Structure 1
């Protein structure tokens, strides 16, 4: 849900008059009386360093520069908010107060922005800010309420500037907000929670890249473990159960087996836990890896330089501070950040001494969990609203297969695009655009075929697909069998509109998945 915010073209003081004090201007009350702060007949320059809204007044932190050059910070209360950075000339009529001239008080809001420069903030740019104050403006009887707020910007070239905005609803003081620039004096509010989530996902994805390792690295190491009397029986049983449960390509041709492999890939572990499905955790890949780590840890000698939980714990503690201090990162560019990518490239950890040691296996298991989490985070980052309002949902995951004596990771990505809700007339006029669109991507390296990448989409029962093989012989083999594949798809009740095979890899998209369509079925 979005709401409009306007930047008033005139200084706020015109509609929010200052209450005159005893000195013919605004009186700032010192929270702690100071005798002789400013000598009689002299003035000092004051700069507003911070602003905090109370129940009835505003608390300001001022930096005073006296005629002698000495500087000191004082806290005062004021009847009106003064933007950060405002410069004032103040005198001290009494030990408990400072006085500002009436003209200065009325023009103090000149320090706040009353328009946005389209060269610095083009239309569509996202800006983030922190709400310093909110006041309701006096309105004629029967008119809707208007709330005026001072917002300090946290990103873009205007970072640190104070912006004056009018909105139909009060903005909570000290809250963080994100808005999209609609014009020089118009903003659209974007719910902050989604931006915070996106920021956290982006940061987590970047951290996962250095920690993750391919699943086959761990599984191959487990498969080559020699018999050892020192290994606990429970740990050996868990390893044997994990390896024996890996499906083969032939088994995945069965729909029920494929469905179970997808559900137990680790991508849905948290959803199962939230749903109370504890009985379904045993075959889950991520749950199994976590169980392996728990069984390995007691047998690993104490090592202060390695703890698979330290990174996650440290990051969890630092995240709130990171969000507060770095929220402006997302607004430096208006485009949505690029996702983690598909397929994830293979990454094997360096092998050290004692490859069969529990400590080495523990590192490989922690890296494998990071791999699964990278897929989960990529799914979240590639989900959201498209430019036309459609809802795009992504599920990205990885299934390890047993192909003879090899472990082959199969990477899978599903995307479902649900069209935006429309009225009855729109439904009649744009009936075709209301259908649900599905996309599927597969990536695997199966000997002796080599690396393969498959993309397909399904719309209104029409299937189109593209296949890429890096080996020329494989590309020729697949091309010769496309007729058979087409017929099998038709026998399954699908109408095949396009089916091709190419040598190489799919072209990199120059835009985000939230905007792409591989084949436009409505063209």
Structure 2
């Protein structure tokens, strides 16, 4: 590689470099030819603090191909600095985002090879493919449960008028799967204030989380069964039954264009998501089988996005603040006393241990767990809970948008404080504010494309 003449050397100091993915298991790296650099090359390599025979990793920020030229221009991100080079890279195909290993040989820069993509890069790619096709679970469940009584309209045949169609009941397998979902969704009256220390409510919450759909594959690996009470698996059983009714196999589901919710298209990675208006129960013409399959495809995509997003947040931290060592994004369906489905959004993150610096007797390091819970209640309106737990110390902040709810929460804070104390926790901060918290914005370019080990 060579630096075009006339390029100014980069500054000697720059931001802390990001490491690339480990080369372990990548196989032998292809070696590209090297070219003599102009006299300024030594200054630029010295400014990058590259010693002779020293290797480092660089990220390909841009590939510029000039028509009719044998060389390719690359814009490399080397140790936090941009470096434009001309390279004859032979059969090594480079694309923006690739990581390459380079070595300084005197005043030459040698390309040792391209590193194999890290596992999180594949996760990020899969996540990006699902992002535009998410269906709001609350709206989807409302339509699904309405089909228990309304049935489905058959798809139109050529020359058939919509008015001539008559609705048909759901297939038995689809009906059973939906009734199981409705039966196992907790009701808003299931948990009473102050019962958090009792064993039964704790077990109910554990069951609620386990059957949310996020752990479907793990549960199948432990207990191979098609009848597990799991949201994702239940939706899959509805899909299979509807396809079988049409004389089609499960492989046809991959050809269906998922139905997407506008709010999830505008902010696909926002979690918790700002509450959207609760959809009203459908009183018009029932959906067709094709429309219901598109709806189910979007709902399954939403669960898949939450699964992939959880892995990416833990595998590739962004640049804002400390990064969690593990993340879990959950959407938990529940029903109102009127059997109307709602969704609570839960974000659980574990932050790394840190000790107390600047003291002769440092404190024992301890992980901090942070929980965010968002839901929209009919009378109380939108509520958001932020809880932080480190060892036996806990703090909590409640956000309410309605003034009447704010007053009610303030009245209930002593009961919450006592309930936490009964669990053996030391409450350091407990407050309620009006409005909603400023959510952390997840950016695609920071969290999903760049890769580092």
Q: Find 1:340's aligned residue among 269, 273, 276.
A: 269
Which residue number in structure 2 is paired with residue 236 of structure 1?
175
User: Which residue does 2:99 correspond to in 1?
Assistant: 178
How many pairs are equivalent? 354
Structure number, greater radius of gyration: 1
SS of equivalent to 1:241: helix
RCO (CA 8 Å, sep 6+): is it higher in 1 or 2?
2
| Structural mapping, 1:67-216, within 5 Å | 83=1, 117-118=10-11, 123-124=15-16, 133=31, 146=53, 153-155=60-62, 160-161=72-73, 174=92, 177-178=98-99, 192-194=117-119, 196-197=121-122, 199-200=124-125, 203-204=128-129, 207-208=130-131, 210-216=132-138
- Identify the residue that residue 222 of structure 1 maps to in structure 2: 144
Question: Helix, strand or coil for the counterpart of 1:493?
Answer: coil
How far did residue 280 of structure 1 move? 8.5
Change in Cα spacing, 1:299 to 1:354, as seen in structure 2 (3 Å) is: farther
Match of 2:255 in 1: 310
How far is the alpha carbon of 1:485 from its aligned partner?
0.9
Query: What's the TM-score, normalizing by structure 2?
Result: 0.63
Change (3 A) 1:165 1:490: closer
Structure 1 residue 399 and structure 2 residue 332: aligned?
Answer: yes
- Deviation (angstroms), 1:448: 0.7
The 3-state SS of whatever aligns with 2:31 is strand
- Encode CA deviations 1:302-321: one digit per residue, 9 max, x unaligned: 9xxxx7523799xxxxxxxx
For 1:165 and 1:215, locate their aligned partners in 2 and report how far apart those are by CA, in whole Å.
41
- Alpha-carbon distance in structure 2 between the residues aligned to 1:401 and 1:281: 20
2:398 match: secondary structure: strand
Q: In structure 2, how many angstroms separate the alpha carbons of the residues matched to 1:453 and 1:156?
A: 45
Residue aligned with 2:347, SS: strand
Distance in 1 separating the partners of 2:101 and 2:435: 40
Deviation at 1:223, TM superposition (A): 2.6
Quote the offset at 1:354 in angstroms: 4.1
Secondary structure, aligned partner of 2:270:
coil
In structure 1, C-alpha distance between the alignment counterparts of 2:77 and 2:187, rounded to whole Å: 61
User: Any unmatched runs of 5+ in structure 2?
Assistant: 22-28, 35-51, 67-71, 79-88, 103-107, 152-167, 259-266, 447-453
One of 397, 403, 418 as aligned partner of 2:352: 418
Shift in Å, 1:429: 6.0
Shift of 1:508: 3.6
Closer, same or farther: CA 431–281 of 1 in aligned 2, 3 Å:
farther
- The residue number in structure 2 matching 1:40 is none
1:393 CA drift (Å): 0.4
SS, match of residue 272 in structure 2? coil
Structure 1 residues 363 and 202, CA gap change in structure 2 (3 angstroms): closer
Measure the CA separation in 2 of the matches of 1:269 and 1:113: 58
Q: Structure 1 residue 486: deviation in Å?
A: 0.6
Partner of 2:214: 267
Instruction: Report which of the two has the higher share of strand.
Output: 1
Contact 1:267 1:375 in 2 (8 A): yes
Q: Distance in 1 between matches of 2:223 and 2:435?
A: 43
Give the distance between the partners of 1:469 and 1:297, measured in 2 at CA. 44
- Indicate whether 1:503 and 2:434 are aligned: yes
Asked if structure 2 preserves the Cα contact closer than 8 Å seen for 1:417 and 1:436, the reply is: yes
Offset of residue 504 of structure 1: 0.6
- 2:203 is matched with which residue? 256
**TM-score for the superposition, normalised by structure 1:** 0.55
Q: Which residue in 1 is equivalent to 2:313? A: 382
Residue number in structure 2 paired with 1:93: none
Residue 385 of structure 1 contacts residue 391 of structure 1 at CA under 8 Å; is this kept in 2? no
CA distance in 1, matches of 2:395, 2:59: 50
CA RMSD of aligned residues (A): 5.0
Cα distance, 1:248–1:429 mapped onto 2, change above 3 Å: farther
Please, which of 213, 223, 243 is the counterpart of residue 297 of structure 1?
Answer: 243
Kindly provide the CA deviation profile for residues 170-207 of structure 1, in whole angstroms up to 9, marking residues without a partner as x. Answer: x9x848652799xxx999x9984056236415523xx4
What displacement does 1:380 show?
2.0
CA contact (8 A) 1:443 1:452 kept: yes
